[in-house]
């Protein structure tokens, strides 16, 4: 890259929230908070046992409200960079927590949905739900029917949200930065290739190197490497 980027897309994953007290998905034992991922993050798992899935997300929602869960320096650095940067900036997150919003990020797309929203499969309404526990008997605040509510999150086998907007931004960006994601889940795992094909420089910021084919990488905890990368922008892109 020889000129200063004018259009940046950042993708974040669970690694950016790990130091805020929210565990990543792919623990060494393949479980997500002691559950098999397919039990709590698939339409089939929900059909089999909706009460278990609701309880799982109720618990995650409660955890998000605890006082030790708050944005870390990685989230804050991204929000500050967005405020200062004069070009196009889009933050795409796979995370369903609200830590980027709390840090002050504005142009933000939750491609895997949001833990603090519920959706009614009967009337299609998407409503904010910051506090209430949901059960299979809960009543939709819009159509007032019971039995249709589900977490407004994207499960395995479902189509991620905002894909048109994301692909348009990737095709137009000249810098793509992937932060704290293992690159195990598609389509997000392909974003760096899409950006590269459109001529962008690609950078990985992660605890460890993943299998992605990035132009350059910085490795360490997000709370350190994200502020360092964005505070030294644009020099950080020109150095290996
Ligand atoms: N700083 C930076 N990176 C970190 C940190 C940290 N403190 N801690 C962990 N990581 C890295 C890990 O090394 C790993 O590469 O973050 C990555 C987390 O990977 P995953 O747990 O697989 O999370 P993610 O890539 O976001 O998962 C994608 O999978 O289960 C689905 O829908 C869910 O959005 C999720 C998607």
Query: Sorting pLDDT into bands at 50, 70 and 90, what band is 25?
Result: confident
Q: Is 71 in the pocket of ligand 1 (CB under 6 A)?
A: no
Residue nearest to atom 28 of ligand 1 (CA): 185
pTM over 0.85: yes
At residue 238, the pLDDT reads 73
Cβ 67 vs Cβ 42: under 8 Å: no
Q: Is the CB of 178 under 6 A from ligand 1?
A: no
112 is catalytic: yes
- For the residues of the chain, what is the DSSP string, one character each? --S--SEEEEEE-GGGTGGGT---S--TTSEETTEEHHHHSSHHHHHH-HHHHHHHHHHHHHHHHSTT----HHHHHHHHHHHH--SEEEEEE---SSHHHHHT--SEEETTEEEEEEEETTT--EEE-SS----TTPBPTTT--BS-EEEEEPPTTSPPTTHHHHHHHHHH-SEEEEES--S-STTGGGHHHHHHHTT-EEEEEESS--S---SEEEES-HHHHHHHHHHTTTHHHH--
* pLDDT tens-digit series, residues 28-61: 566 677 888 899 999 999 999 999 999 999 999 9
Residue nearest to atom 19 of ligand 1 (CA): 182
18 lines ligand 1 (CB under 6 A): yes
Q: Give the tens place of pLDDT for each residue, 168-199.
A: 999 999 999 999 999 999 999 999 999 999 99
For a ligand 1 pocket test, name from 10, 25, 72, 226 the mutation site with the most ligand atoms within 8 angstroms of its C-beta.
25
For ligand 1, say whether the CB of 207 is within 6 Å of any of its atoms. Answer: yes
Mean pLDDT score of the chain, rounded to an integer?
94
Mean pLDDT of 156-166: 97
Residue nearest to atom 30 of ligand 1 (CA): 25
């Amino acid at each position: 890259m020889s000129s200063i980027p004018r259009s940046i897309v950042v993708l974040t994953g669970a690694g950016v929230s790990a130091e805020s007290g929210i565990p990543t998905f792919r623990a060494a034992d393949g479980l997500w908070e002691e559950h098999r991922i397919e039990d709590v993050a698939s339409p089939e798992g929900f059909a089999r046992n909706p009460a278990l899935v609701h309880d799982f997300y109720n618990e995650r929602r409660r955890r998000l409200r605890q006082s030790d869960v708050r944005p870390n320096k990685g989230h804050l650095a991204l929000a500050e960079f967005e405020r200062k940067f004069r070009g196009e900036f889009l933050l795409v997150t796979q995370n369903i927590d609200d830590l980027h919003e709390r840090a002050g990020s504005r142009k933000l797309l939750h491609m895997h949905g949001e833990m603090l929203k519920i959706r009614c499969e009967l009337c299609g309404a998407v409503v904010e739900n910051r506090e209430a526990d949901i059960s299979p008997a809960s009543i939709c605040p819009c159509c007032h029917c019971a039995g249709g509510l589900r977490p407004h999150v994207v499960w395995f086998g479902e189509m991620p949200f905002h894909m048109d907007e994301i692909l348009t931004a990737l095709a137009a960006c000249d810098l793509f930065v992937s932060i704290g994601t293992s690159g195990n889940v598609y389509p997000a795992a392909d974003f760096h290739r899409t950006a590269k094909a459109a001529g962008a420089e690609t950078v990985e910021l992660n605890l460890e190197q993943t299998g992605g084919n990035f132009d350059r990488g910085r490795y360490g905890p997000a709370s350190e490497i994200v502020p360092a990368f964005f505070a030294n922008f644009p020099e950080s892109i020109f150095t290996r």
